[in-house]
Amino acid sequence: MSVIEARQDQVARLARRRWAWLASLLGLPLVGAVWAASTWAWLPGSHLATLSTGVVLGLLVTTSITDLTRHKIYNWSTYPALLWAVVVNLAASLWSPSGGGPDWFFEHLGAVGIFSCLLGAVVGFFGLLVVYELSGCRGAGDVKLATVIGAWLGANDGLLAILFTYAVAGVVLACFMIAVAGPFKLLGHFLRKAGAYLLPGWVLPPPEEELPDLRRPVPMAAFFAAGTLLVLLGVFRP
């Protein structure tokens, strides 16, 4: 590739990135508003039929597609969603029914309030930051996605979404590995890893080439979608 072609390719990529940022910034609240307007008649008074749920669903669909096809969760999808979470929850807190705003406005937003929004973002960020560090600093996009989900759902539901996400991922990946490697080989692999960790020098770790699927990066956005949907639907909630 010549210098001119490389420069043209770079300019084209920058243009696509700008359009992606603009589409996300304007598209997410539009998707949320359309979702709220189209579902409110079917689910009156439900948190499912709110702008908040529509934005979260739009974000999860977008990130699931990009993570599954390109193994990336782009900043242009998460940062605008976080910005809108702060804007919507700040507006709801300032213009809540107790502050003189109309009830329908607050209900249709599905907001959790600015304090719960910020606390949920912190919980999502630090909760996934631990996973990020344990995984060898892989999955920075997952940290950002969990932060946004926490900002929209609040601290309690945001934490539940993370727990459900990894519960679903664990079950799916365990079933996949059992189908690929067999239960006994998989059990032996983990027993040797545990033995090598607990009794170094006495138990040899499993060879590096064994079960290479365990070392492949896992696109987590679809699992975040499943875990968040379980929270939105109120599954396992008393």
Number of domains present in the structure of the chain = 1
* Residue 237, domain member (yes or no): no
Domain presence at residue 182:
yes
Query: Which tokens in the block code for residue 33?
Result: 């508003």
pLDDT: which is higher, 10 or 129: 129
95-105 pLDDT tens trace: 765 554 445 66
Averaging pLDDT over each range in 33-37, 132-136, 202-206, 231-235, which range is the top one?
A: 33-37
pLDDT band at 1 (very low <50, low <70, confident <90, very high): low
pLDDT tens column, 68-106: 999 999 999 999 999 999 999 998 888 765 554 445 666
pLDDT of residue 102: 47
CA 101 to chain centroid: 31
pLDDT at 104: 63
Banded model confidence at residue 213, pLDDT cuts 50, 70, 90:
low
Least confident segment among 3-12, 54-63, 198-207? 3-12
Mean pLDDT of the chain: 85
Q: What is the chain written as a DSSP string?
A: --HHHHHHHHHHHHHHHHHHHHHHHHHHHHHHHHHHHHHTTTSTT-GGGSHHHHHHHHHHHHHHHHHHHHS---HHHHHHHHHHHHHHHHHHHHTSGGGT--HHHHHHHT---HHHHHHHHHHHHHHHHHHHHHTTS--HHHHHHHHHHHHHH-HHHHHHHHHHHHHHHHHHHHHHHHHHH-HHHHHHHHHHHHHHHHSTTTSPPPPTTS-GGGGSPP--HHHHHHHHHHHHTTTT--
Q: Which residues constitute the domain of residue 44? A: 3-232
Reported as a pLDDT band with limits 50, 70 and 90, residue 66 is very high
| 44 pLDDT more than 70 | yes
pLDDT score of 139: 72
